[in-house]
Amino acid sequence: MFFKSKPMWGKKTKLKSSYDVVLIGGGLHSLATAYYLAKEHGITDVAIIEKNYIGYGGAGRNTAIVRANQRTQYNVPLYKEALDLWPVLTKELDYNLMFNNCGNLNLMHSEAAMNAARMNIATAQFHGVESHLIDAKEAKELVPALNISEDITFPIHGAMFHPPGGVVRHDAVVWGLAKGAAKMGVEIHQQTEATGISTKNGKVTAVVTDKGIINTKQVLISAGGYSASLIHGFLGIKLPISVLTIQAMVTQPLKPILDHVVSSGAYHCYANQTLKGEIATGAHMDQWPNYTTLNTAHYIKHQAEALSEFLPALRGVRFMRIWGGLADMTPDMAPIMDGNEQVEGFFMDCGWGYFGFKSCSAVGRHMASFMATNTCPDILKPFALKRYQEHRLMGETAALVNYTPDN
Amino acid sequence: MALTITCPICGKRNGYEFRYGGEEKGPRPDEKDLTPESWCDYVHMNKCVAGVQQEWWFHRDGCGSWFTIFRDTTTNLEKETPEAKE
């Protein structure tokens, strides 16, 4: 089967009976955390436990878009750091992550939306992130395929143009970080399912897996969309999360037509052209929690209608592949990062919704520092679970698109 | 994946006629002795079960009833009881 051969990041090792740190989930947040634990803190006795294979979940299912145009002062610096890290990681890992900062164009379809964009841009500029408001004509100059006429369902008034954003090859990040972490001694155990966490006197003592018990004092659950269910199942901790299936698809390959990431809240759709020429597009989330990761005819139709309105040159183009992934949404559209709070030695990094990919590099770095020093870095403090009890929800729901089954 | 919901009044209908109303969390906590913890727990916190859960639905584009069903979140299929498995 798949895993008989030698993995690309090194030799397969046997699961030991104890590690300094165990990371549950073989996605980008775990891989990045492991990489920085080893690189910046010298902690190499680390095991990543993955039920399927690394990059099986959100890491391999997202549409590779990166940007730092979020709404609030807490989120923007984190995403900016992540954006700045792509070229650095490409060098450090000696692995081409294919970062293409082609720029993001968020289309606005009303004057109210233009005003919301002005606020977003003000936040971005305050934090030193390049972002401008442009009108429909300027948008058309950047992306000639856009339909800026007034006879479509949602005529384009203008756009928020965020030049430093773009696309990163998501699989390359998985492979690069896995190689980089493994080289420093991190063990990656695929086909290994975590089934429980043992505690004693309020402290983590072990992680139970289907391949045996691993003694450890520190464990991180960063298993993407599966985190909330695992955290509740293992420790009885409930989270303000709803897990929704989010869909994506690509068209047949075309000649170059789109050299920016274009997104629209009103049309509920984003699109960019991959290096292979396909138009990668998506955005729809099922409006009820489910773990199916399956597509719906409802959405494929919607997607075709939306694309053929604002990018009319795509009329008649066929979808070639469709897929779904999980988005673990919180009520304030901001993630939850916490540790040593509910149980000593237990850390969590979840609630990333559909923006876990964009943030993984910076978050891995800060989570590693959190775990290595047992001190929460200032940048992560506002993301603690306690904020919901204290009614200090983040204002990220004021961003340009927002989804939750609770609204 | 497609979803159908059985409304107690209208019967089995297309899931897009309905609005999801959250996990069944028991009665609203009494205001007497209400703490930030218990209120937050009721308002925000979910179990996110990957399996059968009891949940609320509202027949938005139909008769307007609110009701609960059991559904397997891994298949989107309705179940008779919480224990029902394939």
Condensed to tens digits (0 to 9), the pLDDT of residues A303-326 reads 999 999 999 999 999 999 999 999
Angle at A13 between CA A8 and CA A19, to 5 degrees: 120
**Second-level CATH architecture of B1-21+46-86:** 2-Layer Sandwich (3.30)
Phi/psi of residue A269, each to 5°?
-160, 140
**Cα–Cα distance for residue pair A74/A381, rounded to 1 Å:** 9
How far apart CA A86 and CA A92 sit, in angstroms, is 10
d(CA A102, CA A119): 23
Q: Is residue A361 a contact partner of residue A330, using CB atoms and an 8 Å limit?
A: no
Task: State residue A78's pLDDT score.
Answer: 97
Chain B residues close to A391, C-beta within 8 Å: 36
Contact at 8 Å (CB) between A337 and A380? yes
**Among A16, A90, A25, A13, residue whose Cα is nearest residue A54:** A25
Look at residue B5 in the predicted model and tell me its pLDDT.
Answer: 96
pLDDT tens across A78-122, in order? 999 999 999 999 999 999 999 999 999 999 999 999 999 999 999
3 state SS for A325-388: EEEEECCCCCCEEEECCCCECEEEEECCCCCHHHHHHHHHHHHHHHHHHCCCCHHHHHHCHHHH
State residue B1's pLDDT score.
53
- Give chain A positions within 8 Å (CB) of B50: 226, 229, 243, 291
What's the residue count for chain A?
Answer: 407
Kindly give, in sequence order, each residue whose CB lies less than 8 Å from that of residue A67, ignoring residues fewer than 6 positions away: A79, A83, A104, A162, A164, A165, A166, A261, A358
DSSP labels for A57-80?
A: SHHHHS--EE----SSTTHHHHHH
- H-run or E-run covering A184: none
How far apart are the CA of B41 and the nearest CA of chain A, in angstroms?
A: 8
Note the pLDDT of residue A4.
61
Q: Do A226 and B37 touch (CB under 8 A)?
A: no
Secondary structure (3-state) at A281: strand
Inter-chain residue contact B22 with A292, CB threshold 8 Å: no
For residue A170, the SS3 value is helix
Taking the CA atoms of residue A394, residue A397, residue A400 and residue A404 in that order, the dihedral angle to the nearest 10 degrees is 140
| Among candidate residues A173, A198, A221, the one with its CA nearest the CA of residue A49 | A221
Q: Output the pLDDT for position B86.
A: 46
Residues 301-330 (A) with a CB less than 8 A from some CB of B: 328
Is the separation of the CB atoms in A59 and A27 below 8 Å? Answer: yes
A232/B48 CB distance under 8 A: yes
Put simply, the answer to whether A242 touches B75 (Cβ < 8 Å) is no
CA dihedral A209, A212, A218, A219 (to 10 degrees): -10
Name the maximum alpha-carbon separation found in chain B: 43
| A240 vs B19, B36, B45: nearest CB | B45
Spans in chain A with pLDDT lower than 50: 406-407
Residue among A235, A247, A287, A389 with most chain B CBs within 10 A, to mutate: A389
Give all strands (DSSP E) within A139-297, no chain letters.
158-162, 166-167, 187-189, 194-200, 203-209, 212-215, 218-221, 242-251, 261-264, 269-273, 279-285
The pLDDT of residue A407 is: 38
Q: What are the DSSP calls for B19-83, one per residue?
A: EEEEE---SPPPSTT--HHHHHHHHT-B---SSEEEEEEE-TTTT--EEEEEEETTTTEEESSTT
pLDDT for residue A279: 97
Q: Could you give the angle at which helices A170-183 and A75-93 cross, rounded to 10 degrees? A: 70
Domain architecture of chain A: domains with CATH: 21-62+170-240+333-398 (3.50.50.60), 104-163+242-329 (3.30.9.10)
Q: Which of B16, B46, B75 is the closest to A298 by Cβ?
A: B16
CA torsion angle for B84, A245, A266, B59 (degrees, to 10)? Answer: 0
Written as tens digits, the pLDDT of chain B (86 aa) is: 578 999 999 999 999 999 999 999 999 999 999 999 999 999 999 999 999 999 999 999 999 999 999 999 999 999 988 775 54
Query: Which DSSP state fits A191?
Result: S
Task: Give helix A170-183 / helix A28-41 axis angle, nearest 10°.
Answer: 40
With tokens 């876990």, the residue in question is A356
Between CA B32 and CA A394 the distance in angstroms is 28
Residues of B within 8 A of A239 (CB-CB) are 45-46, 48
- Global ipTM: 0.93
Query: Distance between CA A129 and CA A163 in Å, rounded?
Result: 9
- Counting other chains too, the contacts that A377-382 makes at CB distance below 8 Å and 24 or more residues apart are A379/A77, A379/A78, A380/A337, A382/A74
Please give the mean pLDDT across all residues of chain A: 94
Q: Tell me the shortest Cα–Cα distance from A198 to chain B, in angstroms.
A: 19
Strand B66-72 vs strand A279-285: parallel, antiparallel, or unpaired? unpaired
Residues A29 and A357: their CA atoms lie apart, in Å, by 8
pTM score, whole prediction:
0.95
Question: Which 366-395 residues of chain A touch chain B by CB within 8 A?
Answer: 388-391
State percent of chain A over pLDDT 90.
90
According to the model, what pLDDT value does residue A10 have? 82
Per the CB < 8 A criterion, the answer to whether A245 and A290 are in contact is yes
Nearest to A288 among B20, B37, B45 (CB): B20
> Taking CB atoms and an 8 Å cutoff, what residues of chain B touch A297?
2
